[in-house]
Homo-oligomer: A and B are copies of this chain.
Amino acid sequence: MSSKNLDMLGSYQEVADKLGQQAGHKKWEIVKAAAGLFIRKGTLNTGVRDIAEASGITVGTLYHYFKSKDDIITAFLDFAVMGTNEFVRMTTEVLAKLQPEEAMKRALRLYMEYTNEAQSIVLFWHQETRNLPPDQRKRLMENDMVLASLFEKLIELGRQQGIYKIKDTALAAHSIIVLGDMWAFRRWWLGRRYTSDQFIEKQTEFILHGLYNGSI
Contacts and interface: CB of A to CB of B under 8 A. Distances in A.
A58 interface: no
A193 B174 CA distance: 12
A194 B131 CA distance: 26
Interface residues of A, number: 47
A160 interface: no
Identical chains bound together, number: 4
Given A44-B42, A179-B175, A205 B209 contact: no
Interface string A182-216: 10011011100110000101110111011111111
Contacts of A211: 209
B41 A175 contact: no
Given A44-B45, A186-B178, A206 B166 contact: yes
Contact of A206 (B128, B202, B210): B210
A131 B214 CA distance: 38
A130 interface: yes
Contacts of A207: 210
Interface string A114-145: 00000000000011111100000000010011
22 contacts: A42-B130, A127-B130, A141-B188, A141-B189, A144-B189, A168-B202, A170-B193, A171-B190, A171-B193, A171-B202, A171-B203, A174-B186, A175-B182, A175-B203, A178-B179, A201-B216, A202-B216, A206-B214, A209-B211, A209-B212, A212-B213, A213-B213
